[in-house]
Structure 1
C-alpha cells in the first residue's frame, strides 16, 4: 500500500481508463457496483460508503509487482439469481491469481470473499483493501471492536489524529467491529485464513488514494503467500437502519425579494507573490493605473512581457491599454519593461535600487509613486518580472493600482517543467494552462507526451482522441510565445501500447499476447519508430527529445523471444537507447529518458527502481553516454536527504545531469524540490498522469494533479518557501483563481437578496445533545458571524439570534430520524 510503481498508481487513479462495463447487484438497503480498475463501490441506505477497493501482489519489498487491480481490470460477471458479483483477477505473465466475490446474503447483509494464490515458488505478499471508506458519513460514529486483547471502543473523530498509520489505527485483528452511525448500525465480521484486518484513519496519509477523498482504510495489509497454498479472506457486513421518519414532500413558504444597491461589494484582495521572490521590500502606497497609463517595451525582447501585463489588465481589471516601444520622455503614469542595458535610460536615482541579479532569468522590478519598471537579465527574466508585477495589481473604481514594492529575484532551479498529455480537445485547455498557470508561475519547460498524435507515418494507429498535428503545432507555438522550452516525449521500447492500437503492428511486439513493448531485434521495429520520431522532430524542432524507457519489463513478457532472451534485458535496453541517442546526437538534439531502469531498490529513496540488481543498474549506467538527461521520478514523500544521498547521488556520480520528477503529493513535491536544490541538479519536472486524452473535463476527477503545479512552481523557483501546510495561501484556491481569470471589480454592483426567514426550520445554535449531525451540540453554526456579512464580495444578512430558527435544513439519508422537507 505504501510503495508501488508509477503505472499502478496511474491506472488506480484513472477510473476513466476502466474499460469494463460496470456490473451491479442490489437490495432495498445495499447496492454493490463493480467498476473495473476502481473495484467495488458499496452504497448503504443510499449513501456511498465504500468508494472503491483494491487487490495487489508483489515481492515483500514491493520492488517487483505481480499484479494490481488498479492496473489490470479483473473480469467481472454478475449472477443476478444469486445476487452476487464475481471478479477474476490475474494477468497473462503473472504468478498471482485471485477470485473476489461480493454476495448479498439477505437484504441487509453483504459478504465479500477473496481467494488468492501464487503459482510459482517466488517471494510474494498480497494486500486487499476491503474498502476505501468515505470518512464523512462515519464522522461521529462510535465503534466497538472485539480483538484478542479485549474490547476496544471509541469515536471516529472530526479530524484525523495523526498521519502515521499506527497512531491513526482504530482497531486491528478484530473479529467483529460495530459502528453506530447517524444512519444505522454497521456490523463488520472478519473471518478466513488471515486474522490481521485493520481499520485506520487515512485522512492525513500522504498516499495518492488519501488525496482523492477523505478516507478510512479497511482491509488486510501485506500478508505472505506460498506456492500453491490458497489464502481465503472473508468479511461480512450487516446493516441495521435507524427507524426513519418520512420526509415532508413539499412545503410552501412566502419569500420576499429585497433590492440592494450593493448586492456585490468591491473586491479588495491582499497582494500575494507566488513563487516567493528572493528579495521583497514593500513600500507604502500604490501607483494608480488608468486609461492614460502608458505601457512601454524599451526593446524588442521585452514585448512579450509588456503584452502579458496589458492582457492581465484587460482580462481581470477591465482596463484596455496598448503597448508602445522606445523610451518615454516623461516618467510619470508609465510602466516600463526592458533588458538590463535599459537601466542606463532610467533616472539615476533608480540605479542603486534596481540591482540586477547575475543569474539567468533573473529580474528586478520597482513600483514607485509615479512609474514602475521591470528589468530582466534576458527575455525570460523580464517576462517573469512582468508576471510578478501582475500579482501586485489591485482593483480600483477607475481601473487598477500597483502596490509599491522593490523586488530582486531569480530562480533556484534552471529546469522547471510541466508534463502533459495531448487529446483531440486539449488545445483550449493547454492554452489556459500555459498562459494562466505555467508561464504566470514561472515554469519554463513543457514536456508534451505525444504518442497519441495523428502521425502521417502511422495513420492506422490513430484513435478517436488522437491530436491533429495542426493543433499540436499551435500548442508548441503558444508555449514558446510564453517563454517555455517544448520537449516531445514519445515512449519507445516499454510503454509502447500506442504502437499496437487498433490491432496494428503486432508483428513487432515482443509479447504479442500482451503487447506493451516492441521487439528491438525485429528488423521492422526501427523503420516504424524512426519514422514516427522523424515526424515528431519536424513538428517540434526541439533541442531535447524524451524517449521514455521506464518500467520496460513490468508489463508483458520481456524479453520473450529466444534471441532476445539470449541477448538479455540489459543489452537490449542499452542498445535501444543508443540507437535513438545516436540518431538525435547526429542532429544536435540531446536525449532525455526516465531513470527507473538505471536504479536498483538499494540505490533509491523509494521503489521507483527496477534494475534486478545493483550490479546490473551500474552496468547500464556505465554503458550509456553521460550527456543523456535523466528524469528521475519518485512519488513518495521521502525526506530530502534520502533523495540526495541515494538516487540523486548515484546519477550524479555516474556523470549524468538529472531532473527530479514529482507527482501530486504535496510533501513529495516539497521534499524532492528541496533535495534538487541541495544536490545542485538541473531542475524539477511536475508530471501529470490524468489519462491519454486530456481536456478541461479532467480537472474535476484529477484536480489535485493540476493544482500541484502551483506547488511545483513555488518550490522549483524559491529556496525559502515554507512546507505546503504553512504556505500563506491555498494552492487549490490559487489554481482555480488563476485558471478562471475572473474579472475583478472595485465597484459595488446592484442586485437583490432573497428573504428566506419564513422557510427557516432549524436553529444555527443547537441546544439538544445530538446537534445537527449527531456529533454534539457544538458542531453547528453558532460561531458564524451574525447580521450583515460579505462572502467573496456577495452580501448576506444572517439572523441575529442563532438560537431561533435561522437556517434551512432538507431531508437526507444522513438525518433519517428528523422530519424535514425534501
Structure 2
C-alpha cells in the first residue's frame, strides 16, 4: 500500500504518456541495431551489447555555449532495405547546425555509421562519442591498431587504472583497431573527409566519476574537432564495424569450486540513483476518468530538470515494472 501511495505522489511530478514504438529496431545476421532517442543507440551481437550509447554535440569554440545537442532536437527518419543492406537515415537540424546520420546493417555482420555535419552561422567545434563500447567484451583481450603514431598492440587492462581520460587512453588516436572478443574478432575502421579528424580517441572510462561512466563499464570511443568553419559543404566521418565468426567453444565438464572472495582497493558499488523525497501535493484535480496504463508507457522529463525529477521518473519506472509488469521508457519532453 505504501508503494502504491508513493507512486500516486510521484505521478503528480512527472507526466506519463503512451510511448511510440521504437524508432528503429532491426536485426540482420548476428547484429541487432536499436535507436530510441538520439543517444539511445544500441548495437548488440547475439543479444550482448557492443555499443551502449552515442552522443553528438556542436558547440562554440572552447565549449562556451552549446549550438546543438542532438538529444534536444526532434529528428526526422527514413529507412530502406536494398541489396541485403538495411539503411536508416536520421536528420537533426536547428538554426545553428545540421547533423545527418546514416546507419547501415549489411551482410557479414557489418555495421556502418556515417555522420555528416555543418554549422550554419558561426565557427564551431564538435564532439561525437561514437560509441560507449562495452568494456566487458574486451577486458583482458588482445588488441592491435593502426594509429596516428603507427602500429600499436597490447592487451586491454582487466581493471581500470586511473580516472584520468588522457592517461587511460588505450593507444594514440585510432585509425583502425582489431579486438579479440568472446563474441569473435571485432574490427573498427575510421574514415573522415577532413584532415582535422586524424583518428578517434579510445579511453577507459570504468574509473570515471561521471554518471555516464558509472552507469555501465565502458570505453569512450569518439572524436572532437576544433574548430570547424562556417562552410556550405558538409563534413563526413564514417566508422565501419565488422564482427567475425563466433568462436568455437569446447564443452568442458561442470566444476563446483569453492567460492573465492578477492579484495580490491578502490572497488565501487554498482551505480544506483538515490531515491528522492517527493513532497505531498497541496492540492490536486481529477479529470473525471480513470488513468489506464498499458504497455509502452513513456515517462517524459523536462530538459534541464533537476536530478530529483529524474530520480522520481526512475522510481516510477521501477514501480510500474515491479507492481504491474508494465514496461516504460524515460526521455525528454
* Common fold: TM-score over 0.5: yes
| Structure 1 unaligned spans of 5+ | 1-15, 254-419, 421-428, 435-445, 466-496, 499-515, 517-549, 552-662, 664-686, 702-822
1:18–1:35 CA contact under 8 A, matched in 2: no
Q: Which residue of 1 aligns with 2:23?
A: 22
Q: Which of 193, 218, 238 lines up with 2:242 in the alignment?
A: 238
1:202–1:214 CA contact under 8 A, matched in 2: yes
Q: Which residue of 1 aligns with 2:90?
A: 87
CA distance in 2, matches of 1:71, 1:202: 24
2:45–2:183 CA contact under 8 A, matched in 1: no
CA distance in 1, matches of 2:19, 2:97: 21
1:20–1:73 CA contact under 8 A, matched in 2: no
Please state how far the C-alpha of 1:74 moved relative to its aligned partner: 2.7
Q: Which residue of 2 aligns with 1:697?
A: 317
Which residues in structure 2 correspond to 1:664-703 (within 5 Å)?
687-690=307-310, 693=313, 695-698=315-318
CA distance in 2, matches of 1:237, 1:119: 31
- Comparing 76-85 with 40-49, greater Cα deviation is found at 76-85
Which residues in structure 2 correspond to 1:482-497 (within 5 Å)?
none
CA distance in 2, matches of 1:183, 1:85: 25
Which residues in structure 2 correspond to 1:706-721 (within 5 Å)?
none
Which residues in structure 2 correspond to 1:119-268 (within 5 Å)?
119-120=120-121, 122-192=122-192, 193=194, 194-227=197-230, 228-245=232-249
1:18–1:36 CA contact under 8 A, matched in 2: no
Q: Which residue of 2 aligns with 1:796?
A: none
Please state how far the C-alpha of 1:464 moved relative to its aligned partner: 5.6
1:163–1:203 CA contact under 8 A, matched in 2: yes
Please state how far the C-alpha of 1:183 moved relative to its aligned partner: 2.2
Distance 1:245 1:693, change over 3 A: closer
Distance 1:20 1:229, change over 3 A: farther
Q: Which has the higher strand share?
A: 2
2:25–2:32 CA contact under 8 A, matched in 1: yes
CA distance in 2, matches of 1:463, 1:37: 33
Distance 1:60 1:184, change over 3 A: same
What do residues 427-473 of structure 1 show as CA deviations (whole Å, max 9, x unaligned)? xx8xxx65xxxxxxxxxxx6x5979x8558xx79x9969xxxxxxxx
Instruction: Give SS of 2:212's match.
Output: helix
CA distance in 2, matches of 1:17, 1:71: 20
CA distance in 1, matches of 2:77, 2:280: 32
What do residues 261-299 of structure 1 show as CA deviations (whole Å, max 9, x unaligned)? xxxxxxxxxxxxxxxxxxxxxxxxxxxxxxxxxxxxxxx
Which residues in structure 2 correspond to 1:299-338 (within 5 Å)?
none
Distance 1:152 1:56, change over 3 A: same
2:174–2:202 CA contact under 8 A, matched in 1: no
Instruction: Give SS of 2:310's match.
Output: coil
2:52–2:134 CA contact under 8 A, matched in 1: yes
Instruction: Give SS of 1:169's match.
Output: coil
Q: Which residue of 2 aligns with 1:68?
A: 69
Please state how far the C-alpha of 1:49 moved relative to its aligned partner: 0.9
Instruction: Give SS of 2:68's match.
Output: strand
1:18–1:38 CA contact under 8 A, matched in 2: no
Please state how far the C-alpha of 1:172 moved relative to its aligned partner: 3.4
Alignment TM-score, normalising by the size of structure 1? 0.30
CA distance in 2, matches of 1:27, 1:188: 18
Distance 1:700 1:692, change over 3 A: closer
CA distance in 2, matches of 1:18, 1:202: 32
Q: Choose 1 or 2 for highest CA Rg.
A: 1
Q: With CA pairs under 8 Å and 6+ residues apart, which has the higher RCO, 1 or 2?
A: 2
Please state how far the C-alpha of 1:24 moved relative to its aligned partner: 2.2
Q: Which residue of 1 aligns with 2:57?
A: 56
What do residues 297-351 of structure 1 show as CA deviations (whole Å, max 9, x unaligned)? xxxxxxxxxxxxxxxxxxxxxxxxxxxxxxxxxxxxxxxxxxxxxxxxxxxxxxx
What do residues 96-123 of structure 1 show as CA deviations (whole Å, max 9, x unaligned)? 1111111123232211110001111x23
CA distance in 2, matches of 1:105, 1:133: 20
Distance 1:149 1:17, change over 3 A: farther
Distance 1:73 1:203, change over 3 A: farther
Q: CA RMSD in A?
A: 3.8
CA distance in 1, matches of 2:135, 2:310: 24
Distance 1:694 1:46, change over 3 A: closer
1:129–1:219 CA contact under 8 A, matched in 2: yes
1:97 aligns with 2:98: yes
Alignment TM-score, normalising by the size of structure 2? 0.70
Distance 1:223 1:100, change over 3 A: farther
Q: Which has the higher helix share?
A: 1
How many pairs does the alignment contain? 272
CA distance in 2, matches of 1:180, 1:137: 9
Distance 1:236 1:18, change over 3 A: farther
| Structure 2 unaligned spans of 5+ | 1-16, 255-273, 293-300, 322-333
1:24–1:85 CA contact under 8 A, matched in 2: no
Instruction: Give SS of 1:136's match.
Output: helix
Distance 1:46 1:62, change over 3 A: same
1:203–1:215 CA contact under 8 A, matched in 2: yes
CA distance in 2, matches of 1:98, 1:234: 13
CA distance in 2, matches of 1:449, 1:123: 48
Distance 1:18 1:131, change over 3 A: farther
Q: Which residue of 2 aligns with 1:43?
A: 44
CA distance in 1, matches of 2:140, 2:52: 19
Please state how far the C-alpha of 1:126 moved relative to its aligned partner: 1.2
Please state how far the C-alpha of 1:39 moved relative to its aligned partner: 3.3
